Structure 1
């Protein structure tokens, strides 16, 4: 395809996506999802996923034979238009279509892929069982134990910060199968059916009032040996494929949402008259902050697009994903903090936000509290800076105290 033909193809595809968004995005979804019950939230999420699936937009990053196959430029256009039209996020399907799918495609058996990928398209929900209370940011320090017993493994331990576990059908689980091996060498990776006896899911009520995160307690849970992903004790290497699914287009989607609806709502907040009858945007200091945010968003979008393009060429550097994650998470935090400042006391009285939205809903205090989900989990900002320094810039490794 010539450059001109490719450009025209993207123009036509953008028009197609725009028409679909205008026809299918529920215009009142923010109102109906604000204060929705857990059952209403789950039903809406499943319906929205199937609407996207019917259009071919639910899993554009998957291989064509599994229902995807959009080119990277088309995927970029798709996420740009969904963000521009303020579409709901695929909150419940996120782990399934990104983390679970990436793991199955990279390391799963044919039987595992044939069982789960079609089921995900039909609405199977997944949760990630990686983090543990005593491990902190050191994922390899996990202590959940799995021991072999005939044709199955028996697992005991605890996971925490498991997003959406109360809705999940299956879990991506890391457990230690060799307690005597170096900590990255003795971990195995399992697919765990969440309906198995011995699993206790306990939602954690957050400062926002939501219970997105959960604890998972495992008491002698049997997992068939056929549900092992990759080789025994080689789970750490497989987990890197799972974590790699957070790169690229997932960050592009989040950056587009922040730059479209998020920044638009921030502008609207600043243009609204306060109790004194003044508009914050008329203050030169406020206008200057908005201009800085606009510039930073432009930089974030450029970083994400560059990462996506290089990821498609298999040319991603060892610290590139950390750069994007750090930039996005801290910009999100600064913008939501500023929104809460502009909103003043009244912003603290907004106690609900749309359950199928993101971290840029315009309920600024709740958004700011939620923004900490990005600067701590998945590697805190301090860890991202260490990765950038050591792996990206080649600086000496940090000393290990007490060694």
Structure 2
């Protein structure tokens, strides 16, 4: 599938104008998880039918086979239109689908890819209480018994796992040798005996993350992705699937949300405040730079010139800029902005609910690899600096 850029942009923009749920922000403000799930499923169904949910999938799937340049146009228009984010389906559409497309057997692809389009939900079981950004420290153990793995352990910070049908599960099958070499990647049916899910109440009032407890859970060997001990390599493919397009969308959402900052200044009667205007003047170029970095990174992927550390630069800059964005909004809002308000489910990272946005912005300095991890990657892999010692006291 190929289309002239401006024709595609015009088509997507018109479709979004006619199909974005009307007043969706108001409908999703202060609502419960059940209403959010229903709204996400309805919006997902529309996007699948139009071919805009899976432009990154191979040709033959609805809307699949588009170039990265065409995908970028779709994501830019979604951001411009302030459409609901597909938070509920993110892991399924990207992490699960892209991992299966690259590593899955034909049987696994037939079993799961059509189900994703039908609305099956996935979560990710990577992080653990003592293995967050350092996946090599995963301890959840899987013991091979005949044709099944028996799993015991705990996962944490799994997005919307309470609604998931399946889980991408990283487990340890070997303790000898380098820690990365002992990891194996499994597909877990969340209805399996021994699986327990507990939502985590957050300071923001949301409960989008969960803990997953695994007690003698059995997973068939046929649900292993890649070979035993290849879990590290498969997991890197999973994490790479969210780079580029996601940050293009989020960066452009932040650019279009700058009008919330200026609108707030006018509403608060502080549009002439010299200090606030100065800080806004400093913020705007940072937002533009976030968009430029994301666009440049995607161009490198299109041209196959991506280098180690490129994605870390984009993520690090976006995370810090988002913090600055929400902090300025909170400051302009003043005392009124300190009041707790119902948050908008399915919104971006800059909804205009400043206390929620500010607290939520810290997620991006941790999730997907903390700022410290990103800096280490940039220093070691791009700048050739000495690796961080295993024991920081050395």
Establish whether TM, by shorter chain, passes 0.5. yes
Matched, 1:150 2:146: yes
- Aligned partners of 2:5 and 2:144: how far apart in 1? 52
Number of the residue aligned with 1:163: 159
Alignment of 1:43-54 (within 5 A): 43-54=38-49
Report how far residue 144 of structure 1 moved.
Answer: 0.2
State the SS of the aligned residue for 1:60: coil
Matched, 1:61 2:51: no
TM-score normalised by structure 1 residue count: 0.94
- Aligned partners of 2:387 and 2:138: how far apart in 1? 23
Is contact 2:139-2:171 (8 Å) kept?
yes
Matched, 1:318 2:308: yes
Number of the residue aligned with 2:30: 35
Structure 1: unaligned runs, 5 residues or longer: 274-278
- Deviation per CA, 1:71-106: give whole Å up to 9, x if none: 222211111111111100000100111111111011
- Aligned partners of 1:267 and 1:83: how far apart in 2? 18
Alignment of 1:345-356 (within 5 A): 345-356=335-346
Is contact 2:244-2:297 (8 Å) kept?
yes
Matched, 1:287 2:298: no
- Aligned partners of 1:223 and 1:351: how far apart in 2? 43
Alignment of 1:130-141 (within 5 A): 130-141=126-137
Aligned positions, number: 391
- Aligned partners of 1:227 and 1:399: how far apart in 2? 37
- Aligned partners of 2:263 and 2:80: how far apart in 1? 16
Matched, 1:296 2:292: no
Structure 2: unaligned runs, 5 residues or longer: none
Report how far residue 312 of structure 1 moved.
Answer: 2.0
- Aligned partners of 2:312 and 2:271: how far apart in 1? 33
TM-score normalised by structure 2 residue count: 0.97
Match of 1:362 among 337, 343, 352: 352
Deviation beyond 3 Å, 4+ runs, structure 1: none
- Aligned partners of 2:295 and 2:131: how far apart in 1? 33
- Aligned partners of 1:134 and 1:400: how far apart in 2? 16
| Alignment RMSD | 1.4
Check 1:124–1:86 CA distance in 2 against 1; reply closer, same or farther (3 A cut). same
- Aligned partners of 1:203 and 1:345: how far apart in 2? 31
Alignment of 1:189-338 (within 5 A): 189-260=185-256, 262-273=257-268, 279-338=269-328
Is contact 2:141-2:152 (8 Å) kept?
yes
Alignment of 1:71-82 (within 5 A): 71-82=67-78
Is contact 2:173-2:229 (8 Å) kept?
yes
Report how far residue 149 of structure 1 moved.
Answer: 1.2
